[in-house]
């Protein structure tokens, strides 16, 4: 309950920050004289100076240069040059909000790719909703980014969908009827994904689930793992980050747990622990698996990445698809006007990108392909490709 109140307070604080930023913008895009559509101006809020290495902007800039060299993008019977304007979001929410203000007020972009992290994307989405300019985040998974909004979209899985996919995989593909979850009770991602997984798995016939929480910064998980082993769980779900996983995997095996280890997309954020002996055979969900991508597209993007010096990983793949989705939406709408572009995004269906199939059924959360990959020899092998389920 305390964690839920803290999360609500955080979201409220971010929204208030968005409102304060809006007040400094003065005239909104709705009140400004529309600019002639001579080019398609796309903004990108990118964590270039963040501690985790980020190079996706290099790939996108190379792709835009390639497109413009061929004459640009055909939109509504006209050829428009594409301009990508990248602004660093740094490591603070205020920097992301400042980047958004510059891109909309000064650069007059029609849409923004990013921010990548939910902590930045939530207030940016709130501000852009009022300004009626679409935002497409490659990797912010928190449901609050798009909840109740018409101009906020994402490429990645939302945490609620990921929880359902992992529960389905554990129940149907692994044949598990008894599972356990070990999660950080104070971390929004870990606790949130654990909750979605628990509800989805428990709703299946004959399924039982044991949940064990730990405090952030814990080094020893012995008591929780002992109870998990005693429960007879066949699968242990660990929706946690690499720093914790590097301790949890060895301790789980040392505690005598011999079942399947299962993870979420946080396992992709740092592959350093993938070389651990205890990590071999573990499986986790992800939005991108190179082995499952269209071979021609994969080769084409890999060549662009090599040319630009970008690392072709999940983050880069999702950013590349964000750019291609915006280009497809503009062509579908026949316009790069922000409101028309929003309609083009909302109606986009069957887009086939580097990270799989993506469709928007009127809202900002995609129906998309999900992948389950296994760690083998420190590398990854594709275990399952799960088609998106239609919205009920």
Q: What is the DSSP letter of 292?
A: G
Which pTM was predicted?
Answer: 0.84
Tell me the per-residue pLDDT of 14-26, one tens digit each, with 9 for 90 and over: 555 555 555 455 4
Q: Report domain extents, the chain.
A: 2-157+293-360, 160-286+372-386
CB-CB contact of 226 with 194 (8 Å): no
- The answer to whether 2-157+293-360 and 160-286+372-386 have equal CATH topology is yes
Residue with the two structure tokens 């529309």: 34
pLDDT of residue 390: 54
Instruction: Say what the alpha-carbon torsion angle 335, 338, 341, 345 is, to the nearest 10 degrees.
Output: 170
Instruction: Give the bridge partners for 365, in sequence order.
Output: none
Average pLDDT score over residue span 264-285: 94
Distance between CA 327 and CA 359 in Å, rounded? 14
Q: What share of the chain has pLDDT > 70, as a percent?
A: 90
Residue 299 token pair: 């080769």
User: Looking at the domain 2-157+293-360, which fold is it?
Assistant: Rossmann fold (3.40.50)
Q: What is the DSSP letter of 144?
A: G
Q: What CATH class has 160-286+372-386? A: alpha beta
How far does CA 208 lie from the centroid of its chain? 29
Of 315, 298, 285, the residue nearest 375 (C-alpha): 285
Residue 311 token pair: 């690392």
Distance between CA 176 and CA 174 in Å, rounded? 5
pLDDT of residue 53: 86
Average pLDDT score over residue span 129-144: 94
CB-CB contact of 75 with 334 (8 Å): yes
Distance between CA 321 and CA 217 in Å, rounded? 35
Tell me the per-residue pLDDT of 316-348, one tens digit each, with 9 for 90 and over: 999 999 999 999 999 999 999 999 999 999 999
Of 319, 243, 260, 259, the residue nearest 287 (C-alpha): 319
pLDDT of residue 118: 86
Average pLDDT score over residue span 133-148: 94
Distance between CA 273 and CA 243 in Å, rounded? 8
Scanning the chain, the segments in alpha helix (DSSP H) are 2-25, 56-69, 93-101, 118-131, 159-168, 188-202, 222-230, 242-254, 295-308, 314-333, 338-346
Instruction: Give the bridge partners for 372, in sequence order.
Output: 285, 384
- CB contact set of 259 (below 8 Å; sequence gap of 6+): 233, 234, 235, 236
- CB contact set of 299 (below 8 Å; sequence gap of 6+): none
Confidence bin at 180 (pLDDT 50/70/90): very high
């Amino acid at each position: 309950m305390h964690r839920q109140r803290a999360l609500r307070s955080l979201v409220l604080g971010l929204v208030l920050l968005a409102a304060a930023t809006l007040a400094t913008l003065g005239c909104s895009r709705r009140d400004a004289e529309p600019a002639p559509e001579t080019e398609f101006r796309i903004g990108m809020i990118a964590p270039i100076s963040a501690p985790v290495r980020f190079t996706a902007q290099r790939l996108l800039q190379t792709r835009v240069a390639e497109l413009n060299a061929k004459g640009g993008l055909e939109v509504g019977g006209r050829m428009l040059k594409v301009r990508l304007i990248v602004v660093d979001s740094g490591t603070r929410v205020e920097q992301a909000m400042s980047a958004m203000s510059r891109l909309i007020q000064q650069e007059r972009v029609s849409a923004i790719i990013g921010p990548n992290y939910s902590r930045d994307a939530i207030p940016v989405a709130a501000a852009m909703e009022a300004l009626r300019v679409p935002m497409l985040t490659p990797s912010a998974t928190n449901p609050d980014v798009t909840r109740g909004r018409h101009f906020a979209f994402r490429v990645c899985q939302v945490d609620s969908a990921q929880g359902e996919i992992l529960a389905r995989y554990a129940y149907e593909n692994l044949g598990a009827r008894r599972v356990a979850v070990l999660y950080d009770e104070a971390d929004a991602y870990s606790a949130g994904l654990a909750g979605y997984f628990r509800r989805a798995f428990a709703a299946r016939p004959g399924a039982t689930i044991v949940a064990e929480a730990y405090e952030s910064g814990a080094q020893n998980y012995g008591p929780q793992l002992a109870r998990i082993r005693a429960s007879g769980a066949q699968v242990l779900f660990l929706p946690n980050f690499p720093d914790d996983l590097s301790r949890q995997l060895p301790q789980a095996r040392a505690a005598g747990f011999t079942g399947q280890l299962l993870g979420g997309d946080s396992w992709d954020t740092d592959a350093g622990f993938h070389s651990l002996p205890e990590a071999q055979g573990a499986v986790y969900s992800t939005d991108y698996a190179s082995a499952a991508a269209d071979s021609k597209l994969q080769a084409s993007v890999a060549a662009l990445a090599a040319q630009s010096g970008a690392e072709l990983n999940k983050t880069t793949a999702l950013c590349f698809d964000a750019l291609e989705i915006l280009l497809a939406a503009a062509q579908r709408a026949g316009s790069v006007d922000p409101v028309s572009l929003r309609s083009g995004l909302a109606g986009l269906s069957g887009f086939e990108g580097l990270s799989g199939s993506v469709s928007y059924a009127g809202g900002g959360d995609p129906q998309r392909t999900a992948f389950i990959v296994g760690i083998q020899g420190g590398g990854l092998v594709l275990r399952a490709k799960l088609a998106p389920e239609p919205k009920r």
